[in-house]
Amino acid sequence: METKPKSKRKVPQGSPLFPDKPRLSKEEIARRKAENENFGQRCRAIFNQVAPQLMLDHYGWSIIIEPDSGDYFIDPDRKECLQKAKQKHPTAILLEMCLNETGTCGRI
């Protein structure tokens, strides 16, 4: 049984990969970037407020923050933590951090 070799679609350099997909305007990109930075700052403010006390007993645990309500959820298992957060805020945008000095999850 003979198989056909996979054909690779060649895209000229500088052209979009998906030409049918509409491109975002520079204004829309700037708006989304500002929105994301604002969200991150609001979450970081909550983290900076609660993390020092939580780190004493829960160092290395996951913390998921919902900035609109100020709610946060902690658990040593990140999936359990997310499940708790989604149960209370099913449609909210959440931010996961780690209870350590920087708040980062994983290695860089």
Q: Which residue has the higher pLDDT, 36 or 10?
A: 36
Q: Report residue 26 CA to chain centroid gap.
A: 22
Residue 91 has pLDDT above 90, yes or no: yes
Q: Is residue 73 part of a domain?
A: yes
Q: 88: domain range?
A: 26-98
The percentage of residues in the chain with a pLDDT greater than 90, rounded to a whole number, is 70
Residue 56: inside a domain, yes or no?
Answer: yes
Report residue 23 as tokens: 């491109």
Task: Give the pLDDT of residue 93.
Answer: 95
| Residue 11 pLDDT level (bands cut at 50, 70, 90) | confident
In a domain, 106, yes or no: no
**66, part of any domain:** yes
Q: Is residue 32 situated within a structural domain? A: yes
| Contact residues for 36 (Cβ-Cβ < 8 A; gap 6+) | none
CB atoms under 10 Å from CB of 67, counted, come to 21
Whether residue 87 is predicted with pLDDT greater than 80 in this model: the reply is yes
Closest CA to 60 of 95, 9, 108, 103: 103
**pLDDT band of 18, cuts 50, 70, 90:** confident
Number of domains in the chain: 1
Assess if residue 75 is contained within a domain.
yes
Asked if residue 3 belongs to a domain, the reply is no
Predicted local distance difference test score (pLDDT) of residue 4: 64
For all residues of the chain together, what is the average pLDDT? 89
User: Which pLDDT belongs to residue 1?
Assistant: 59
pTM for this model (two decimals): 0.75
Section 59-86 average pLDDT: 94
